[in-house]
Amino acid sequence: MVTITERQLSTTVLVIGTGGAGLRAAIELAESGVDVLAVGKRPKEDAHTALAAGGINAALATMDPEDSWQQHAADTLKESYLLADPRTVEIVTQGAARGIDDLERFGMAFAREADGRISQRFFGAHTFRRTAFAGDYTGLEIQRTLIRRADQLSIPVLDGVYITRLLTDDGAVFGAYGFDLTHGTRYLIHADAVILAAGGHTRIWRRTSSRRDENTGDSFRLAVEAGARLRDPELVQFHPSGILEPENAAGTLVSEAARGEGGVLRNALGERFMTRYDPERMELSTRDRVALAAYTEIKEGRGTPHGGVWLDVSHLSRQTIMERLPRVYQTLLDLQMLDITRDPIEIAPTAHYSMGGVWVRPEDHSTDVRGLYAIGEASSGLHGANRLGGNSLIELLVFGRLTGQAAAAYSRGLAAQTRSATAVADARAEIDDLLASDGPENVRALQRAIRDTMTEHAGVVRDEKGLLAGLAELAAIEERMREVGVHPDIAGFQDLAHAFDLKSAALAARATLEAALERRETRGCHNRSDHPELDPALRVNMVWSPTTGITRESIPAVPDEIAPLMREVSTVGKLAE
């Protein structure tokens, strides 16, 4: 038997996840002189943040002087279908300008007007132009900027380390346990506080804009097993346009810019079907409405050969496509050898963003576990039942800073450092047991089974019969998970990582199905065909844990200074989101 070594590390604050949220928190800690370690299972240069294209929101009023943080808050709350937490929304919108200032201080190159002002453009459902950007690669530029600043501060970053368990004792976190994906080296990391920034759970659907082996629900499982809860896991944003082929890239996004520039949606019969669903806005309608329209066309038998619809930009001039849609053009050429200047793109709705997540307090994103914080797509509270485009990136900046400060303060207030030999032994044993398992079940096949179940029963449209069927299928999958075989090989320990991904996916799927069953209404992204109306009595958050199931949590009233500003936003000529 090969002996696996174990490295023991110690830091004041451990950050799990090296995307925008994790790096911003680590930077705040390092700039404050606090010892910090950031750990990620994939290279930091390839974090999910880098995929965000459109822009980042802040009421800077550089283009529209009448804009304000209050109007930004009102737009966010309205678009959330009143499920967002008003205090969380206030904190983000008030802190947004500071977030942009921080990025500028770190050296980010925003698009600018001729006189030097930061350019801002419209995103759907925003009253004013408040989306700052860098070409169509804003997220990538933010990630590069944060990596550069982390390097300047000499922040230690461990790439390729998979965290399997948070270490807790008597309701407080004291670190984490994991292993190196290449060599299998174990890591025992002691920390006073832990910031969880490991993304959402959209990979548990068959088509998703996430890459393989990311957003598998890691944050959800780590937090819940440590004693935290989840809020609104059923609220998942489905993007209308994910590609279908090749299978290993299914769900990869075709930017909404394709519709914004004049792309047309047609079914297999050649009908421009948006005339049935939103005849005024047509392809410029909201994400949830376009996704529902495409889903309905496919479900009713008017779908394309691979089960999608057509998005056609071939009527646009080649120059327009090359200047305004260069990434879309290159992506389809690379993946399908498809020339979008001549041929339509086959697309279908794709799981895009987890709007629910770990339950956190709005002020500092602390959880039910002392010393544990969650930020970014791992957390909840800002988006409710529909996310405003551009809000997710500013959320990373605002709460990365605030949570870094909170974790540092928590550490300073500790009278002693918690340790538990039992918790560490349990974490070691969990890995040992999986490595010793040699059952007949294939981990990858079970992951696919969960994705098939979620796609069939908890996709764009849900109903009670389907959700109950999904729970029954999931129970059978969970039983089969007892018989998995795990086989590390010469290429590394990815198979062991897949086994933990499977655990995370199963937990996230159960939470999603149970919460979707409880939300007997249609609201924003959550479509219940058996409950097609919005129910005012369900203006509540669904809070889930494996021990208590679903509890309904009331949402504070919208502040008086915000409520009058919540009005319909004109979408004439704008792509709505």
Residues 6+ apart with CB under 8 A from 161: 39, 40, 41, 178, 179, 180, 181, 187
Give the number of other CB atoms < 10 A from CB of residue 312.
17
Q: How far apart are CA 132 and CA 111, in angstroms?
A: 7
Q: How far apart are CA 327 and CA 331, in angstroms?
A: 6
Q: Which of 217, 224, 188 is nearest to 423 (CA)?
A: 188
Q: How far apart are CA 374 and CA 366, in angstroms?
A: 7
Q: CA angle at residue 266 from 260 to 270, to 5 degrees?
A: 145
Please give the DSSP secondary-structure letter assigned to residue 503.
Answer: H
Do residues 20 and 396 make contact, with C-beta atoms less than 8 angstroms apart? yes
Q: Which of 437, 458, 396 is nearest to 106 (CA)?
A: 396
Give, in order, the Cα–Cα distances in Å from 336 to each of 140, 328, 332.
24, 12, 5
Active-site choice (229, 259, 266, 287): 287
Residues 6+ apart with CB under 8 A from 270: none
| Residue 436, SS3 per DSSP | helix
Do residues 50 and 139 make contact, with C-beta atoms less than 8 angstroms apart? yes
Instruction: Output helix, strand, coil percentages for the chain, rounded to the nearest 5.
Output: 40, 20, 40
Residues 6+ apart with CB under 8 A from 569: 75, 125, 126, 127
287 is catalytic: yes
Do residues 109 and 102 make contact, with C-beta atoms less than 8 angstroms apart? no
Give residue for tokens 């959209």. Answer: 202
| One-letter amino acid for residue 22 of the chain | G
| Residue 216, SS3 per DSSP | coil
The β-bridge relationship of strands 186-196 and 264-266 is: unpaired
Provide the token pair at 478: 């969970």
Q: Is the Cα torsion angle 142, 128, 313, 461 positive or negative in sign?
A: positive
Q: How far apart are CA 101 and CA 11, in angstroms?
A: 29
Q: Is 433 exposed, middle or buried (0-12, 13-18, 19+ CB in 10 A)?
A: exposed
- Residues acting as catalytic residues: 287
